[in-house]
Chains A and B, each alone.
Chain A
Amino acid sequence: MNTLSRWFGRNLLRIYAVVAFTYLFIPVAYTFAFSFNDSAKSNLIWKGFTWANWQNPCGAPEVCTALGNSIKIGLLATIFSTILGTMIAFAIGRHKFKGRSTTNLLIFLPMATPEIVLGASLLSLFLVFQINPGFWPTVIAHVLFCMSFVVVTVKARIASLDPRLEQAAMDLYANERETFRRVTLPLVAPGIAAAALLAFSLSFDDFIITNFNSGTMTTFPKFIYTSAARGIPAQANVIGSAMFFLALAIVIVGQLVTRKRKVS
């Protein structure tokens, strides 16, 4: 019994981690399980196993429109926020100028503002200018809150860049533009990629800000929220699970690629 309690004590943290991860994945597993539920509309009670939902993910009305909107908005928001955010990150991270700390603070503010305030204030602005909430107001809102995260991520990457690498490039006959193109940018690229991925995830999963600025247009999270009352169709579970596996696959592939590059 003594050895058992000792083993337990030594592995306490590992056991805890297993329990914690299980806890994290319970709703995911539940969602995945119920994507196979054979129910016509309401997906609350288990009725039976079926592949039908996976074979026809767009079966429920509006599901795929909502998904399409989410993806379109996500891509647009990612592109714009990544470009704008990267430019700001370079400005703050590479140059000393008056107002640098104020700019830093200003970038931080949207992250410190609750989503509901961001969404509500944007809605008020659009109302004043008599712009109806919809697709483009939503894109603008997403760019807004993603930008700060992009700046933080890229800035961190820039900060970890050894300035002597750029000096070495100039020492080896590369002018400022060539140095940026051949040394700085390739080395910052992983940070920009991470920022873009983060921006897309934040945009795709956003609900609160979207709710305020989308009007009649549906996004995937909004669709789920509004159909919660009458029962979420199993197709939504299918899409949610599919997104999960897709994203997981991308991350794993990314890990394998970086590990392979280190070894070869």
Chain B
Amino acid sequence: MKKISTPYLLLIPGMGFLFIFFLLPLFNLAQTSTQTRVSGGDTGEYEQTWRFANYFDAFVENREQFGRSFLYALIATVLALAIAYPLAYTIAFKGGRFKNVMLVLVIAPFFTSFLLRTIAWKQILGEEGFVVPTLRSLHIISESTTLTSSAFAVVMGMTYNFLPFMTLPLYASIDRIDPRTLEASGDLYANGFTTFRRVTLPLSMPGVVAGTLLTFIPAAGDYVNAAILGSPQTKMLGNVIESRYFKIVDYPTASALSFTLMISILILVTVYVRKAGTEELV
């Protein structure tokens, strides 16, 4: 390895940037979260009172949205995994010459702004789209059920939007599996299902872990899907935080909620990664 001075020289600009624009703001966020509104002052005027009870208040007041965020994110992640795994498997093992083409096709929808696509779903699943009338005429759903402005739509939107994030790490991991290990498994009397359970799945775990993390983390903090495809009953934590910044100005609560969201995700991630047993994710 080279001399000592070079790495630090290379690191300073980037890490300096991270320090100023990532760590410092988080610090500031923590600080803001313990402030209280100045009584009698204007909106936006706060004083530093170190009121840690803000966290308690914020959590209690929004525990419903908290739970909902994590629930939706969890469901969306599981659904995305279920949809993406067979797809990644097909590309890796049945792709042949078209592997790269198929990978491009997975990422391609990304090139259209995700807002355009989410709104497209809103219209496709809405009253004017073709899905609802068709389902109604087939009597699969009743006349009064709507698909939009519902938890179903929100979760579906999230699943859809994060699908590439799940598929690509899965593919990378599955592609690395030596097909001969699967042949060996068959040679040793395992049928298709057993081979999958005992050989393929464990070998693809790094991809599963990476994919679920890359899906769950942004999903938990998402609010766009809920805003476009949901209703006031499906409000997620992200919606609350956004409104506390821009509509009902309440910086301490917003900061406390943001911080809590971040810490809980970090804890979940650490526990999950440790349990899944993969070391180097990045």
Contact = CB atoms under 8 A, between A and B. Distances in A.
**A–B: direct contact at CB < 8 Å:** yes
Interface in B5-41: 6-8, 10-11, 13-15, 17-18, 21-22, 24-26, 28-29, 32
A96 B8 CA distance: 11
B119 interface: yes
Interface majority SS (helix, strand, loop, mixed), chain B: helix
Contacts of B121: 27
A94 B112 contact: no
Residue in B100, B108, B116, B223 with the greatest tally of chain A CB atoms within 10 Å? B116
Interface residues of A, number: 84
Contacts of B269: 112
A33 to B, nearest CB: 10
Interface string A121-147: 111110010000000000011011001
A26 to B, nearest CB: 7
A28 B10 contact: no
Nearest to B263: A117
Contact of A117 (B11, B123, B261): B261
B220 A94 contact: no
Contact of A124 (B28, B115, B238): B28
Given A120-B255, A124-B251, A124-B255, A28 B91 contact: no
B114 A207 contact: yes
Nearest to B281: A108
B109 A45 contact: no
Nearest to A17: B90
A87 B11 CA distance: 7
B171 to A, nearest CB: 12
Nearest to A143: B17
A88 B104 contact: no
Contact of B25 (A91, A107, A125, A244): A125
Contacts of B86: 13, 16-17, 20
B14 A88 contact: yes
B13 A84 contact: yes
Interface in A84-128: 84-85, 87-88, 90-92, 94-97, 103-104, 106-118, 120-125, 128
Nearest to A127: B251
Contacts of B111: 201, 243-244, 246-248
Nearest to B130: A30
Interface string B253-269: 01100110110011001
Nearest to A145: B22
Nearest to B251: A124
A122 B115 contact: no
Nearest to A228: B119
Nearest to B17: A84
A20 B113 contact: no
Residue in B6, B114, B120, B259 with the greatest tally of chain A CB atoms within 10 Å? B120
Interface size class of B (residues with CB under 8 A): 35 or more
B1 A94 contact: yes
B25 A121 contact: yes
Interface string A215-248: 0000011001100100010001100110110111
A44 interface: yes
Nearest to A29: B120
B6 A95 contact: yes
B218 A103 contact: no
Contacts of A151: 14, 282
B105 A110 contact: no
Nearest to B100: A255
Contact of A107 (B24, B93, B245, B282): B282
Nearest 8 CB-CB pairs, A to B?
A114-B221, A121-B25, A27-B120, A95-B7, A247-B111, A84-B14, A91-B10, A27-B117
16 contacts: A21-B106, A30-B120, A31-B116, A113-B217, A114-B222, A114-B238, A120-B258, A121-B25, A147-B14, A208-B222, A221-B113, A232-B119, A237-B116, A240-B116, A243-B112, A247-B111
